Chains A and B, each alone.
Chain A
């Protein structure tokens, strides 16, 4: 399994976690981002989401994910970092992103995991579209 990947298939969080396991690590922290059922649309009205769709600038998204993983290794005392992001349709309740970080000690694993998701939301060229029963909209994103 590649440590950093985009995939249209459902994410395998257990496999991702196993991929960062190491005899040097005493901790593995994971984060899973999932699609919520209810969302507030552009007019701040609550609407049930039918499904979500993720579009990616594939080559650049992979570069950014790899760069974030590398940056994480530099900033935190971690052993391995894995990130998989799903593209295409992601039904409500399913995972859109999964992160696993192994480290000798848990503090770094937790902190690094948080850093990775925060960086993904800031700088990876992926866009979420919410499909409601009566229309669809791009989620208002981070514009830096």
Chain B
């Protein structure tokens, strides 16, 4: 299944893209998606370990299973406020 991925801040710069897609097995998790992202965009590997994931605009643990059509976001450590 294809999962759309949004990248922000340092993750966006490392990947060189605001959005990308990854091809995952059915029932794949956020952790699987992060691994796929690291393969597709090697510079992301240095950034991903400190990133949180959001699925459909809510924080999600790396164990969360993804469904087709889910929107995954890669969120580096936040610094708003």
Residues of A within 8 A of B (CB): 33, 54-57, 59-61, 63, 85, 96-97, 117, 120-129, 138-144
Contacts and interface: CB of A to CB of B under 8 A. Distances in A.
A29 B73 CA distance: 34
Secondary structure of the A side of the interface?
A: mixed
Contact of A124 (B6, B73, B76, B78): B78
A59 B52 CA distance: 16
B78 A141 contact: yes
Contact of B57 (A63, A127, A139): A63
Given A60-B73, A125-B75, A144-B52, A55 B8 contact: yes
Q: Which of B10, B58, B73, B80 has the most chain A CB atoms inside 10 A of its CB?
A: B80
Given A63-B57, A143-B50, A143-B52, A57 B77 contact: no
Nearest to B74: A57
29 contacts: A55-B8, A57-B8, A57-B54, A60-B58, A60-B73, A63-B57, A85-B80, A96-B81, A117-B81, A120-B80, A120-B81, A122-B78, A124-B81, A125-B8, A125-B54, A125-B73, A125-B78, A125-B80, A126-B78, A126-B79, A127-B8, A127-B78, A138-B9, A138-B76, A139-B79, A140-B79, A141-B77, A143-B77, A144-B52
A113 B51 CA distance: 28
A128 B80 contact: yes
A144 to B, nearest CB: 6
A33 B25 CA distance: 44
Nearest to B49: A143
Contacts of A60: 54, 57-58, 73
